[in-house]
């Protein structure tokens, strides 16, 4: 197990299952990711950079794609979600739609590739 898997094991089952599904989708799209830490959070790393992290807070669940540009690119497709420059807040009852998550992962991976 790694940083992300270990963190998911500490979560309530419904949250852990949701996050695990998100992790599996990211791994399908970008098979070269590894588990590690970015900005102090358990995260999926691609080429040593944060691809995405999912965290539970006291009030919500959050997806961190480590890029304000990526969040801005999908913002129109997330009506009703609370967004900030690098965070998408959601809940078990209102998860990030799969097609949007896929685009977030692809966009962030492309951003990392372009910076290399």
Where exactly are the structural domains of the chain?
3-115
The residue-averaged pLDDT of 58-67 equals: 96
19-54 confidence digits (pLDDT tens): 999 999 999 999 999 999 999 999 999 999 999 999
The yes-or-no verdict on residue 1 having pLDDT over 70 is: no
Q: What is the CATH number of domain 3-115?
A: 3.90.1150.200
Q: Locate 32 and state its tokens.
A: 């070269």
Q: Is pTM, for the whole model, over 0.85?
A: yes
Give the C-alpha separation, 6 to 27, whole Å. Answer: 17
Tell me how crowded residue 45 is: count the other CB atoms within 10 A of its CB. Answer: 22
The residue-averaged pLDDT of 68-92 equals: 96
Q: What is the pLDDT of residue 13?
A: 97
Polymer length in residues for the chain: 116
The residue-averaged pLDDT of 72-95 equals: 96
Q: What is the pLDDT of residue 116?
A: 84
Q: How confident is the model at residue 60 (pLDDT cuts 50, 70, 90)?
A: very high
């Amino acid at each position: 197990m790694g940083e992300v898997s270990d963190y998911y094991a500490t979560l309530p089952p419904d949250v852990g299952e949701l996050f695990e599904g998100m992790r599996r989708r990211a791994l399908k799209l970008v098979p070269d990711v590894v588990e590690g830490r970015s900005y102090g959070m358990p995260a999926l790393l691609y080429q040593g950079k944060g691809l995405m992290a999912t965290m539970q807070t006291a009030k919500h669940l959050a997806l961190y794609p480590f890029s304000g540009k990526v969040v801005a690119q999908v913002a129109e497709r997330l009506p009703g979600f609370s967004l900030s420059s690098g965070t998408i807040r959601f809940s078990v009852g209102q998860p990030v739609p799969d097609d949007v998550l896929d685009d977030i992962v692809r966009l962030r991976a492309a951003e990392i590739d372009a910076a290399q």
